[in-house]
Structure 1
Amino acid sequence: MIDTLRRNDLPIRNIHVRSKQFWLVFNADIPSGRVWFGLHLQHRKEFEKRLAELESTHDLDNWNVEPIRIQVFNKEQVMPRSGADIALSEKSILLVGCGSVGGELADKLCSAGVGNLTLCDPDLFSPDNIYRHVLSMRFIGVGKALALVAHLKGKYPWLQATPHTDWLLDLRKKAFLDSFDLIVIAVGSPTHERKFHDFLVQEKIRTPVLYTWLEGYGIGGHAILDIPGKKGCLQCAYIDHATCSRGLSSNLNFLAANQDLTINHAGCGNLYLPYGFTAAAQTALIAANLGLDYLRGRVSESFKVSWKGSDHDARQRGARTTHRYEQFHRNLEHMLLLNEHCDLCNG
Structure 2
Amino acid sequence: ESFAEWNIEACSIKLFDKSSLIPRGGAFTDLQKKKVLLVGCGSVGGYIADQLASCGLGNLTLVDSDTISIENIYRHYLSIDYLNWEKTTGLQFKIATKYPWINIKPVKRCLLNLRDVSILNSFDLVIIAIGSPTKERIFHDYCIKNNVETAIINTWTEGYGVGGHAALDIPEQKGCLRCAYVDNKNLCRGLVSNLNFLKPNQDLTRNLSGCGNAFLPYSNLSAIQTASIATDLALKFLQGKVKDSSKVSWKGSDQDALNENLELTDRYYAFSKSLLITPLLNPECDICNE
Q: Structure 1-normalised TM-score?
A: 0.82
Alignment counterpart, residue 178 of structure 1, candidates 121, 144, 147: 121
Q: Name the count of aligned residue pairs.
A: 290
Map 1:1-347; keep pairs closer than 5 Å: 58-267=1-210, 269-347=212-290
Q: Which amino acid aligns with 2:68?
A: F
Measure the CA separation in 2 of the matches of 1:140 and 1:257.
Answer: 34
**CA offsets, 1:156-181, max 9 Å, x none?**
11110000111100000110000000
Measure the CA separation in 1 of the matches of 2:106 and 2:174.
Answer: 33
Question: Which is richer in strand?
Answer: 1
SS at match of 1:184: strand
**CA offsets, 1:120-145, max 9 Å, x none?**
00000111111111111111001111
Measure the CA separation in 1 of the matches of 2:258 and 2:69.
Answer: 29
Measure the CA separation in 1 of the matches of 2:80 and 2:47.
Answer: 16
Q: Which amino acid aligns with 2:234?
A: G
Measure the CA separation in 2 of the matches of 1:222 and 1:183.
Answer: 16
Measure the CA separation in 2 of the matches of 1:319 and 1:266.
Answer: 22
Deviation at 1:268, TM superposition (A): 6.2
Q: State the partner residue of 1:12.
A: none
SS at match of 1:151: helix
Unaligned runs of 5+ in 2: none
SS at match of 1:346: coil
**CA offsets, 1:172-210, max 9 Å, x none?**
011000000000000000000000000001110110001
Measure the CA separation in 1 of the matches of 2:276 and 2:173.
Answer: 19
Query: Which deviates the most, 65-74 or 188-197?
Result: 65-74
Q: Which amino acid aligns with 2:136?
A: E
Query: Which deviates the most, 98-107 or 258-267?
Result: 258-267
Measure the CA separation in 2 of the matches of 1:62 and 1:167.
Answer: 69
Measure the CA separation in 2 of the matches of 1:64 and 1:216.
Answer: 67
Q: Which amino acid aligns with 1:63?
A: W
Deviation at 1:59, TM superposition (A): 2.4
Measure the CA separation in 1 of the matches of 2:203 and 2:109.
Answer: 28
**CA offsets, 1:315-337, max 9 Å, x none?**
11111111111111111111100
Query: Which deviates the most, 264-273 or 88-97?
Result: 264-273
Deviation at 1:267, TM superposition (A): 3.5
Measure the CA separation in 1 of the matches of 2:10 and 2:53.
Answer: 36
Measure the CA separation in 2 of the matches of 1:189 and 1:141.
Answer: 23
SS at match of 2:288: helix
Measure the CA separation in 1 of the matches of 2:40 and 2:160.
Answer: 20
Structure 1 runs of 4+ aligned residues shifted over 3 Å read 266-269
Q: State the partner residue of 1:38.
A: none
Of structures 1 and 2, the one scoring higher in RCO (CA 8 A, sep 6+) is 2
Q: Which amino acid aligns with 1:129?
A: N
SS at match of 1:90: coil
Q: Which has the larger radius of gyration?
A: 1
Deviation at 1:61, TM superposition (A): 1.3
Measure the CA separation in 2 of the matches of 1:59 and 1:319.
Answer: 86
Measure the CA separation in 2 of the matches of 1:94 and 1:299.
Answer: 19
C-alpha RMSD of the superposition: 0.9
Identical residues among aligned pairs (%): 51
